[in-house]
A and B are shown apart, each in its own frame.
Chain A
Amino acid sequence: GAGVSQTPSNKVTEKGKYVELRCDPISGHTALYWYRQSLGQGPEFLIYFQGTGAADDSGLPNDRFFAVRPEGSVSTLKIQRTERGDSAVYLCASSSSGGGSYNEQFFGPGTRLTVL
Protein backbone atom coordinates (compact mmCIF):
# COMPACT_ATOMS: atom_id res chain seq x y z
CA GLY A 1 0.00 0.00 0.00
CA ALA A 2 0.90 3.62 -0.27
CA GLY A 3 1.15 4.23 3.46
CA VAL A 4 0.91 2.67 6.88
CA SER A 5 -2.54 1.34 7.63
CA GLN A 6 -4.05 0.40 10.95
CA THR A 7 -7.17 -1.54 11.75
CA PRO A 8 -9.60 -1.06 13.28
CA SER A 9 -9.75 2.73 13.29
CA ASN A 10 -11.86 2.62 16.44
CA LYS A 11 -12.30 -0.10 19.01
CA VAL A 12 -14.66 -0.02 21.96
CA THR A 13 -14.36 -2.83 24.45
CA GLU A 14 -15.31 -3.66 28.00
CA LYS A 15 -12.95 -3.79 30.91
CA GLY A 16 -11.32 -7.20 31.16
CA LYS A 17 -11.63 -8.09 27.49
CA TYR A 18 -8.83 -8.95 25.06
CA VAL A 19 -8.10 -6.78 22.02
CA GLU A 20 -5.83 -6.98 19.00
CA LEU A 21 -4.71 -3.99 17.01
CA ARG A 22 -3.19 -4.46 13.57
CA CYS A 23 -0.57 -2.49 11.69
CA ASP A 24 0.37 -2.85 8.02
CA PRO A 25 3.63 -0.98 7.43
CA ILE A 26 4.92 0.40 4.18
CA SER A 27 6.17 -2.45 2.03
CA GLY A 28 9.88 -3.02 2.48
CA HIS A 29 10.19 -1.09 5.73
CA THR A 30 12.16 -3.18 8.17
CA ALA A 31 11.62 -1.02 11.25
CA LEU A 32 8.21 -0.86 12.91
CA TYR A 33 7.21 1.08 16.02
CA TRP A 34 4.16 1.11 18.26
CA TYR A 35 3.25 4.18 20.29
CA ARG A 36 0.42 5.08 22.63
CA GLN A 37 -0.92 8.60 22.78
CA SER A 38 -3.18 9.92 25.47
CA LEU A 39 -5.21 13.09 25.08
CA GLY A 40 -3.03 16.19 25.14
CA GLN A 41 0.21 14.23 25.24
CA GLY A 42 2.86 13.25 22.74
CA PRO A 43 3.23 9.68 21.48
CA GLU A 44 4.74 7.37 24.07
CA PHE A 45 7.07 4.66 22.79
CA LEU A 46 5.91 1.08 23.39
CA ILE A 47 7.96 -1.29 21.25
CA TYR A 48 10.30 -1.36 18.26
CA PHE A 49 10.71 -4.20 15.78
CA GLN A 50 13.62 -4.66 13.43
CA GLY A 51 12.44 -7.34 11.06
CA THR A 52 10.66 -10.07 13.00
CA GLY A 53 12.31 -9.45 16.34
CA ALA A 54 11.43 -6.98 19.04
CA ALA A 55 14.64 -5.00 19.41
CA ASP A 56 13.29 -2.91 22.26
CA ASP A 57 10.10 -3.56 24.21
CA SER A 58 11.00 -1.38 27.16
CA GLY A 59 7.99 0.86 26.64
CA LEU A 60 5.37 -1.83 27.14
CA PRO A 61 3.67 -0.82 30.41
CA ASN A 62 3.17 -4.31 31.80
CA ASP A 63 2.80 -7.97 30.84
CA ARG A 64 -0.76 -7.45 29.64
CA PHE A 65 0.74 -5.89 26.52
CA PHE A 66 2.39 -7.99 23.85
CA ALA A 67 3.24 -7.44 20.19
CA VAL A 68 4.29 -9.72 17.36
CA ARG A 69 5.58 -9.37 13.84
CA PRO A 70 5.97 -12.97 12.70
CA GLU A 71 6.87 -12.39 9.05
CA GLY A 72 8.59 -9.06 9.36
CA SER A 73 5.76 -7.05 7.87
CA VAL A 74 2.34 -6.92 9.56
CA SER A 75 2.39 -6.43 13.32
CA THR A 76 -0.27 -7.04 15.94
CA LEU A 77 -0.42 -5.35 19.33
CA LYS A 78 -2.27 -7.51 21.82
CA ILE A 79 -3.73 -6.27 25.09
CA GLN A 80 -5.08 -8.73 27.64
CA ARG A 81 -7.51 -7.97 30.45
CA THR A 82 -8.00 -4.41 29.27
CA GLU A 83 -8.33 -1.65 31.83
CA ARG A 84 -9.93 1.78 31.51
CA GLY A 85 -6.46 3.32 31.70
CA ASP A 86 -5.55 1.58 28.44
CA SER A 87 -7.89 3.93 26.57
CA ALA A 88 -5.78 5.92 24.13
CA VAL A 89 -4.87 6.21 20.46
CA TYR A 90 -2.41 3.52 19.46
CA LEU A 91 -0.12 4.62 16.67
CA CYS A 92 2.05 2.51 14.44
CA ALA A 93 4.96 3.81 12.39
CA SER A 94 7.41 2.26 9.99
CA SER A 95 10.79 3.31 8.73
CA SER A 96 13.31 2.10 6.22
CA SER A 97 16.01 2.47 8.85
CA GLY A 98 18.08 -0.64 9.12
CA GLY A 99 19.11 -0.41 12.71
CA GLY A 100 19.42 3.26 13.49
CA SER A 101 16.93 6.01 13.93
CA TYR A 102 18.35 8.04 11.07
CA ASN A 103 15.30 8.23 8.88
CA GLU A 104 11.84 9.63 9.17
CA GLN A 105 9.02 7.54 10.47
CA PHE A 106 5.80 7.17 8.51
CA PHE A 107 2.79 6.99 10.79
CA GLY A 108 -0.51 5.27 10.36
CA PRO A 109 -3.81 6.99 11.28
CA GLY A 110 -3.99 5.19 14.59
CA THR A 111 -6.53 3.05 16.40
CA ARG A 112 -8.61 4.80 19.03
CA LEU A 113 -9.17 2.30 21.83
CA THR A 114 -11.90 2.97 24.38
CA VAL A 115 -12.25 0.67 27.36
CA LEU A 116 -15.58 1.04 29.13
Chain B
Amino acid sequence: SQQGEEDPQALSIQEGENATMNCSYKTSINNLQWYRQNSGRGLVHLILIRSNEREKHSGRLRVTLDTSKKSSSLLITASRAADTASYFCATAGTYKYIFGTGTRLKVLA
Protein backbone atom coordinates (compact mmCIF):
# COMPACT_ATOMS: atom_id res chain seq x y z
CA SER B 1 0.00 0.00 0.00
CA GLN B 2 1.11 3.55 -0.58
CA GLN B 3 1.32 6.02 2.23
CA GLY B 4 1.75 9.30 0.46
CA GLU B 5 -0.63 11.10 -1.76
CA GLU B 6 0.45 13.83 -4.09
CA ASP B 7 -1.76 16.69 -5.05
CA PRO B 8 -2.57 17.58 -7.74
CA GLN B 9 -2.50 14.33 -9.70
CA ALA B 10 -1.74 16.28 -12.86
CA LEU B 11 -0.49 19.80 -13.52
CA SER B 12 -0.01 21.66 -16.76
CA ILE B 13 1.81 25.01 -16.84
CA GLN B 14 3.61 27.31 -19.23
CA GLU B 15 7.39 27.43 -19.42
CA GLY B 16 8.74 29.99 -16.96
CA GLU B 17 5.93 29.57 -14.46
CA ASN B 18 6.36 27.98 -11.05
CA ALA B 19 5.01 24.52 -10.26
CA THR B 20 3.92 23.48 -6.79
CA MET B 21 3.19 19.90 -5.78
CA ASN B 22 2.01 18.70 -2.39
CA CYS B 23 2.46 15.43 -0.57
CA SER B 24 0.57 14.16 2.45
CA TYR B 25 1.51 11.11 4.47
CA LYS B 26 0.18 9.17 7.42
CA THR B 27 2.86 7.99 9.84
CA SER B 28 5.99 9.40 11.48
CA ILE B 29 9.08 9.63 9.32
CA ASN B 30 12.85 9.95 9.47
CA ASN B 31 12.98 11.93 6.28
CA LEU B 32 11.03 12.67 3.12
CA GLN B 33 12.48 12.55 -0.36
CA TRP B 34 11.29 13.76 -3.74
CA TYR B 35 11.99 11.86 -6.95
CA ARG B 36 11.39 12.53 -10.63
CA GLN B 37 10.48 9.89 -13.18
CA ASN B 38 10.56 10.24 -16.92
CA SER B 39 8.63 7.92 -19.21
CA GLY B 40 7.65 5.46 -16.49
CA ARG B 41 11.13 4.06 -15.96
CA GLY B 42 13.97 4.80 -13.52
CA LEU B 43 13.51 7.41 -10.83
CA VAL B 44 15.98 10.18 -10.10
CA HIS B 45 16.48 11.52 -6.60
CA LEU B 46 15.89 15.27 -6.33
CA ILE B 47 16.11 16.27 -2.71
CA LEU B 48 15.94 14.88 0.83
CA ILE B 49 14.55 16.76 3.81
CA ARG B 50 14.98 15.39 7.32
CA SER B 51 12.21 15.33 9.87
CA ASN B 52 13.85 18.10 11.91
CA GLU B 53 14.15 20.42 8.89
CA ARG B 54 11.43 22.74 7.67
CA GLU B 55 12.76 23.95 4.35
CA LYS B 56 15.45 23.02 1.90
CA HIS B 57 16.67 24.41 -1.41
CA SER B 58 18.50 22.87 -4.31
CA GLY B 59 18.89 24.97 -7.44
CA ARG B 60 15.38 25.72 -8.73
CA LEU B 61 13.82 23.35 -6.20
CA ARG B 62 12.39 24.33 -2.85
CA VAL B 63 10.97 21.75 -0.47
CA THR B 64 9.07 22.38 2.74
CA LEU B 65 8.09 19.91 5.42
CA ASP B 66 5.42 20.31 8.08
CA THR B 67 5.53 17.28 10.34
CA SER B 68 2.60 18.51 12.42
CA LYS B 69 0.39 18.41 9.32
CA LYS B 70 2.24 15.42 7.84
CA SER B 71 2.70 17.24 4.58
CA SER B 72 5.42 18.44 2.25
CA SER B 73 5.53 20.61 -0.83
CA LEU B 74 7.87 20.77 -3.79
CA LEU B 75 8.21 24.04 -5.67
CA ILE B 76 9.94 24.18 -9.03
CA THR B 77 10.67 27.75 -10.03
CA ALA B 78 11.07 29.06 -13.58
CA SER B 79 9.95 25.74 -15.05
CA ARG B 80 11.36 24.40 -18.31
CA ALA B 81 9.99 21.96 -20.84
CA ALA B 82 12.61 19.48 -19.60
CA ASP B 83 10.90 19.46 -16.19
CA THR B 84 8.01 17.54 -17.73
CA ALA B 85 7.88 14.30 -15.74
CA SER B 86 6.12 12.57 -12.88
CA TYR B 87 7.16 13.62 -9.39
CA PHE B 88 6.89 11.37 -6.35
CA CYS B 89 7.39 11.91 -2.66
CA ALA B 90 8.81 9.03 -0.64
CA THR B 91 8.59 8.84 3.11
CA ALA B 92 11.29 6.96 4.95
CA GLY B 93 10.76 5.15 8.22
CA THR B 94 13.48 3.07 9.79
CA TYR B 95 14.74 1.73 6.48
CA LYS B 96 11.71 1.39 4.28
CA TYR B 97 10.59 3.92 1.69
CA ILE B 98 6.94 4.40 0.86
CA PHE B 99 6.13 6.27 -2.34
CA GLY B 100 3.12 8.38 -3.07
CA THR B 101 0.90 8.25 -6.11
CA GLY B 102 2.73 11.00 -7.99
CA THR B 103 2.03 14.28 -9.75
CA ARG B 104 2.30 14.33 -13.53
CA LEU B 105 3.74 17.69 -14.51
CA LYS B 106 3.60 18.98 -18.06
CA VAL B 107 5.49 22.14 -18.93
CA LEU B 108 4.42 23.69 -22.21
CA ALA B 109 7.02 25.50 -24.29
Which A residues contact B (CB, under 8 angstroms)?
Answer: 4, 31, 33, 35, 37, 39-45, 48, 50, 55-56, 89, 91, 93, 97, 99-110
Q: Which of A42, A44, A101 contacts B95 (CB 8 A)?
A: A101
4 additional contacts (CB under 8 A) given A101-B92, A105-B33, A110-B42: A39-B40, A43-B99, A56-B96, A99-B95
B96 touches A42 (CB 8 A): no
Task: Choose among A43, A50, A55, A103 the residue that contacts B88 (Cβ–Cβ < 8 A).
Answer: A43
Give every chain A residue within 8 A of B95 (Cβ-Cβ).
31, 48, 50, 55-56, 97, 99-101
Q: Known: A101-B93, A101-B95, A101-B96. Is A91-B33 also a contact (CB below 8 A)?
A: no
Q: Which residues of A contact B30 (CB under 8 A)?
A: 100-102
| Chain B residues with CB under 8 A of A45 | 96-99
Within 8 Å CB of A102, what residues of B? Answer: 30-31, 92
Residue-wise interface mask of B (44-72) relative to A, using a CB-CB cutoff of 8 A (1 in contact, 0 not): 11001000000000000000000000000
Bound: A55/B99 CA distance, A: 19
Contact with A along B2-19 (1 / 0, CB 8 A): 101000000000000000
Q: Give the chain B neighbours of A107 by CB distance below 8 A.
A: 35, 42-44
With A91-B43, A101-B30, A107-B42 as given contacts, are A41 and B2 in contact (CB-CB < 8 Å)? Answer: yes
Count of A-B contacts with CB under 8 A? 73
Q: A101-B97, A102-B30, A102-B92 are in contact. Are A41 and B102 (CB under 8 A)?
A: yes
Check B101–A42 contact: CB distance below 8 A: yes
**A64-B102 Cα distance, complex, nearest whole Å:** 28
Residue from B4, B40, B93, B97 within 8 A of A37 (CB atoms): B40
5 tightest A-B contacts by CB? A101-B92, A42-B99, A104-B45, A107-B43, A107-B42
CB distance from B3 to the nearest CB of A (A): 10
A49 to B8, alpha carbons, bound, how many Å?
A: 33
Complex CA–CA separation, A58 to B93 (angstroms): 14
Min CB gap A10→B, angstroms: 11
